[in-house]
Structure 1
Amino acid sequence: MILDLFFPDRCIHCNRIIDAHLLVCNLCFDQIHFTHFSYDSNNPVKEKCRLLFPVENAYALMQFEKENLSRKIIHELKYRSREIAGKVLAEWVAERLDFEDEKPDLLATVPLHPKKQRERGYNQLHVFTEILSAFYNIPFDHHLISRNHYSKAQALKDKQHRLETGNAFSLTKNITGKHILLIDDVFTTGNTVATIAWEILNAGDNKVSVLVMAGDI
């Protein structure tokens, strides 16, 4: 309580004092570019995925644009230890996403390399996914996919380097006959989710859908 008085939570965009469970103030919230996509209809993320692998459905919560607020939110989550951002983003998804008859069987997160996760202290997708799992009553598996190589952050790579992810991921267990919702933070080239999707699709009679916090669309 005393710490709250001297070090109150502040909006990550304008620095106004806000409640502890928020990321941005009401004024700045209106500046977030939500996509308003429908999960089971055509949208830019789904169309990009279709060029790379057979995707069932795809959804991005926000647009990921240079210098926009969604980029700042995700950078707070990934690089500034603001794990609460994952909770807030999950709540925003739950307010907007209706699976209807396309509910997946399992939520699977894109993994960090163990060394990267030790450096960061957490995987930015775990809290996000666990809250969605509880809300939609869909099980999750943070360990279905393993990352085989340690590399620097995607944000620090040039575009060509981001395209080179061959043999980067593998499955840790046998799965078949499942509809997997693959969860990542940002969709840019789509190469990361495509690499993992093919591992899942080639493992058996599986289907893959995609959910990202933000899409570069």
Structure 2
Amino acid sequence: MLFPIEHAFALMQFEKENVSRKIIHALKYKSRKKAAEILAEWTTERLNFKNEKPDLLVSVPLHPKKLKERGYNQLHLFTETLSEFYEIPFSHDLIKRNHYSKAQALKDRKHRLETQNTFSTTKSISGKHILLIDDVFTTGNTVASIAWEILKAGNNKVSVLVMAMDE
């Protein structure tokens, strides 16, 4: 693997004209919050942590300007639903996005790779197993950047859960 991720889980494939793309775009851009709950419930039917239950759920943050534009972070409701089901605490403020940028979906592959200094931790955390949650895994740079920040913060482990994988 390109980065030290403990485990990685994906719910579905993200392809053009695929139902997964329509669901995630409705969730992200059309305020279809119910889609987050449905995807989280679907996740709980497929994901069993067994003895590897994370200590904390953390979703990829939006920049405050993007949060204001969109009105909500589509991953928060998804994360909160999983938190309740698995009885794992969540943090929406452990990681912050340092720079405003246009949506990854609007960038070409070269510009999607530019994630240096994009994220930082906001508080000290050590000795935890963090489940990092994102909607679409494309290049892996977003989750890798965040994972490195979490790992730099202390003796932590990072696993990743994404709604969909884009090839």
Q: TM-score, normalised by structure 1?
A: 0.76
Residue 125 (1) aligns with residue 71 (2): no
Query: 2: distance between equivalents of 1:94 and 1:177?
Result: 25
Q: How does 1:1-217 map to 2 (within 5 A)?
A: 50-51=1-2, 53-217=3-167
Query: 2: distance between equivalents of 1:198 and 1:166?
Result: 11
Give the count of matched residue pairs. Answer: 167
In the alignment, residue 118 of structure 1 is paired with which amino acid? K
Alpha-carbon shift at residue 167 of structure 1 (Å): 0.2
| Secondary structure of 1:55 counterpart | coil
Query: 2: distance between equivalents of 1:133 and 1:108?
Result: 10
Query: 1: distance between equivalents of 2:162 and 2:145?
Result: 15
User: What RMSD, in angstroms, separates the aligned Cα atoms of the two structures?
Assistant: 0.7
Q: Which deviations, in whole Å up to 9, do the C-alpha atoms of 1:135-194 show, x marking residues without a partner? A: 000000000000000011111000000000100000000000000000000001000000
| Secondary structure of 2:74 counterpart | coil
Where does structure 2 lack aligned partners over 5 or more consecutive residues? Answer: none
Query: 2: distance between equivalents of 1:201 and 1:63?
Result: 28
- Considering fraction of residues, name the structure with more strand: 2
Query: 1: distance between equivalents of 2:132 and 2:88?
Result: 13
Q: Which deviations, in whole Å up to 9, do the C-alpha atoms of 1:47-75 show, x marking residues without a partner? A: xxx22x11111100111112111000000
Query: 1: distance between equivalents of 2:126 and 2:31?
Result: 36
Q: Which deviations, in whole Å up to 9, do the C-alpha atoms of 1:190-212 show, x marking residues without a partner? A: 00000000000111100000001
Alpha-carbon shift at residue 216 of structure 1 (Å): 1.6
Q: TM-score, normalised by structure 2?
A: 0.98
Q: Structure 1 residue runs of 4+, over 4 Å off?
A: none
User: Relative CO higher for 1 or 2, CA cutoff 8 Å, sep ≥ 6?
Assistant: 2
Where does structure 1 lack aligned partners over 5 or more consecutive residues? Answer: 1-49
In the alignment, residue 102 of structure 2 is paired with which amino acid? K
| Secondary structure of 2:127 counterpart | coil
Alpha-carbon shift at residue 83 of structure 1 (Å): 1.1
